[in-house]
Amino acid sequence: MPRQPYPQQPMPPAPGYVGLGDPQRTARRHFRRNRLVLAVSIAVAAIAAIALTLTLTIRAIDSVKSVDLDTAVAGRGELKPFELARGDCLRSLNTSPYQGVPCDDGHVGQVVLVAELPDDAAFDNMKIRRESARLCQAEVPKAAPKAAEQSEPVSLFYLYPSASTWQQGDRAVTCIVATDGEPLTSSLI
């Protein structure tokens, strides 16, 4: 008797084996999944960037250095840049040490904010300048509301750490509002 061929039945897949199925459907499924992963990654990165910005701003605001405003108004004599404190009125901005004078005497500028930059980065002059400018521009209107009421135009100056002072631990940003014309004769704070 001649041998009969085995009946033609589909063979069941081996355990754990997944067939390829429709290649186009599989590609669409991978594309959608990759697009979702990309969207979630972008959202997480945006949230992290916002959290970092808020953390840096809160750190800077929390570390505001100040002196008793009565002392500042009375004048504190010669002041080195790292000795400046909120409320100090300055006779001139052209020389260091600065001359602290009573705020009701003629003066060209007043320290309205001293804040600390975060300590978590290596020195980068451009980044520190940008962060110092951003910090002063954002916080000075709140710290010195009387500056906007001046009849004479005022300018914003800021002092920030140099490479050598950064290595010594200096993280202070000093925001100074100065007159462009006639000397000031009262406190801006």
Tens-place pLDDT, residues 119-162: 867 889 999 999 999 999 999 888 888 887 887 788 899 999 99
β partners of residue 157: 176
Classify residue 124: in a domain, yes or no.
yes
Question: Which residue range(s) make up the domain with 79?
Answer: 69-179
- Pair (159, 77) in one structural domain: yes
- Pair (49, 112) in one structural domain: no
- Pair (24, 106) in one structural domain: no
| 159 three-state secondary structure | strand
Please give the C-alpha separations between residue 4 and each of 1, 7, 8, 9, in angstroms, as whole numbers.
Answer: 9, 9, 11, 14
| 75 three-state secondary structure | coil
- Pair (98, 171) in one structural domain: yes
- Pair (49, 114) in one structural domain: no
Other C-beta atoms within 10 Å of 59: how many? 16
Tens-place pLDDT, residues 64-122: 444 444 444 456 788 888 889 999 999 988 888 899 999 888 899 999 999 998 886 78
Please give the C-alpha separations between residue 38 and each of 42, 50, 51, in angstroms, as whole numbers.
Answer: 6, 18, 20
Q: Which residue has the higher pLDDT, 165 or 13?
A: 165
The model carries a pTM of: 0.61
